[in-house]
Amino acid sequence: MTARAAAVRMLDAVLGEGQLLSQAEAPLAGLGAADRARAQRLAAQVLRHVEQADRVLKPHLRKAPPLTVLNVLRLGTVELALGEAAHGVVNEAVGLIRGYRKHAALSGLVNAVLRKVAAQEAPFAKLPPQRLPYWLRKPLVDAWGREAVTAMEAVQARPAPIDLTLRDGAGLQGDPLPTGSLRLPPGTQVSALPGYATGGWWVQDAAAGLAVPLLAPRRGETVLDLCAAPGGKTLQLAAAGAEVTALDISEARLARLRENLDRTGLRARVVAADALEWQPEAPFDAILLDAPCSATGTIRRHPDLPFVKDGSELAGLVALQAALIDCALGWLKPGGRLVYCTCSLLPDEGEGQLAAALARHPGLRVERPALQGVAPDWITPEGGLRLRPDYWADRGGMDGFFMVRLTH
Candidates 297, 401, 279; CA nearest to 350 is: 401
Q: Tell me if 343 sits within 8 A of 293, measured CB to CB.
A: yes
Candidates 80, 27, 34, 36; CA nearest to 57 is: 80
Q: Which helix (H) or strand (E) holds 135?
A: helix 134-144
What CA–CA distances, in Å, run from 404 to 111, 210, 338, 396, 401? 54, 11, 8, 24, 10
Catalytic annotation, pick one of 227, 293, 341, 343: 343
Within 8 A by CB and 6+ apart from 130, the residues are 48, 49, 50, 51, 52, 153, 156, 157
343 among known catalytic residues: yes
Q: Could you tell me which residues are beta bridge partners of residue 340?
A: 289, 404
* 77: amino acid identity, one letter: T
- Nearest-10 Cα torsion for 58, 63, 67, 73: -40
Classify each residue of 336-371 as buried b or exposed e, where b means 16 or more C-beta atoms within 10 Å of its C-beta.
Answer: bbbbbbbbbbbbbbbbebbeebbeeeeebebeebee
Q: For residue 23, how many other CB atoms are within 10 A of its CB? A: 14
C-alpha span between 144 and 391 (Å, rounded): 13
Q: Tell me if 386 sits within 8 A of 402, measured CB to CB.
A: yes
What radius of gyration, in Å, describes the C-alpha atoms of the chain? 23
C-alpha span between 71 and 49 (Å, rounded): 12
Cα angle 306, 309, 312 (rounded to 5 degrees) comes to 135
C-alpha span between 168 and 177 (Å, rounded): 16
Beta-sheet strands, E only, within 100-192: 162-166, 175-176, 182-184
* 288: amino acid identity, one letter: L
Residues with catalytic function: 343
